[in-house]
Structure 1
Amino acid sequence: MLGVLSEENIDQLLESGSTGRIGCYDGEKVYIVPVSYAYNGTYLVAHSAEGMKIKMMRKNPEICFQVDHIESGRNWQSVVLWGKYEEVTDPKERYYAMKFLVGRLMHIQASETAGVQGMSRELANPDEQPHELKPVVYRIRIKERTGRFEKDGHAH
């Protein structure tokens, strides 16, 4: 059976996930890449080293984001949302955003590639990290979202 996820189910999927794919467009090409994130009920929080996606989102902050939970080919949920990239630059706000992200990723035992260890070191010793090594912390302010699912009628 195919269906549309309720707002509550969309929130549950975003809250339970930790990795999604962000799509950005710089006017010439589209770039889609997986990112670790945390969802606080209002927006997504993520971080990244400066690179192609940060440059593209600074140029065009309108993004698309997608999260899946797949049990099988006939048992899955998927959320797609559209929003706006906002860099978190205020030191206090950045600290709390990073603390929220680290706490969430540690709680779900995210992949080493999520960068939890590096962020944890920066949280413990913020003044010892060279500026050029600090990740860019950002949030996605959600403007629109939709969710779909398929559930096998024979699944228990």
Structure 2
Amino acid sequence: MIGKLSDQQMQTILQQNMMGRIGCSSHSKIFVVPVCYAYNGKAIIAHSAEGMKINMMRNNPQVCFEVDEVTSLTNWRSVIIWGQYQEILDERERFYSVKFLMSRLLQYTEAEKVHHAQAIVADEDTGHFNSNIRPVVYRITIEEMTGRFEHGDLLI
């Protein structure tokens, strides 16, 4: 059975997950990449080093964001968001956004915590914070959201 997720089900999926895919486009090129995120009930909060994704979103702030939960080919749930990329530049808001993001990421298993903490804030050679890299902290303000699911024999 294929169906549409309710608003509450979409909210739950966004709150329970930490990995999504952001889709952006610029100059006829489309780019989709996985990102760690936190959902605050109003927006997706994330950060990234400078690079293609950030440059594309600066050039065209209209983005798409997807979160999937896949158990099998006939048992999955998916939420898609369309919204606006906005860099968080205010130092206070930036501090609290990163704090919120890190607190959400640290709610997962020890192995996941170690892996994501290293990927996010550590210099691989020394294991210490690399102060030369200042990540871009951003939000995706939600303009539209939709969700679908498929369950073979089960009801959700």
Residue 37 of structure 2 aligns to a residue whose secondary structure is: strand
Q: Deviations over 1:102-137 (max 9, x none)?
A: 00001124462563444xx77xxxxx934xx11100
CA distance in 2, matches of 1:145, 1:31: 20
Amino acid at match of 1:139: R
Amino acid at match of 1:69: E
Aligned length: 147
Amino acid at match of 1:26: S
Q: Deviations over 1:58-95 (max 9, x none)?
A: 00000001110011111100011100000001111000
Distance 1:58 1:72, change over 3 A: same
CA distance in 2, matches of 1:154, 1:14: 21
Q: Pairwise mapping of residues 109-148 of structure 1 onto structure 2 (< 5 A)?
A: 109=109, 110=112, 112-113=115-116, 115-118=119-122, 129-130=131-132, 133-148=133-148
Match of 1:95 in 2: 95
Match of 1:125 in 2: none
Amino acid at match of 2:131: Q
Q: Pairwise mapping of residues 1-156 of structure 1 onto structure 2 (< 5 A)?
A: 1-109=1-109, 110=112, 112-113=115-116, 115-118=119-122, 129-130=131-132, 133-153=133-153
Residue 98 of structure 1 aligns to a residue whose secondary structure is: helix
Residue 94 of structure 1 aligns to a residue whose secondary structure is: helix
Residue 107 of structure 1 aligns to a residue whose secondary structure is: coil
% identity of equivalent residues? 47
**Which consecutive residues of structure 2, in runs of 5 or more, have no partner in the other structure?**
123-127
CA distance in 2, matches of 1:145, 1:83: 9
* Deviation of the 1:151 alpha carbon: 0.8
Q: TM-score, normalised by structure 1?
A: 0.87
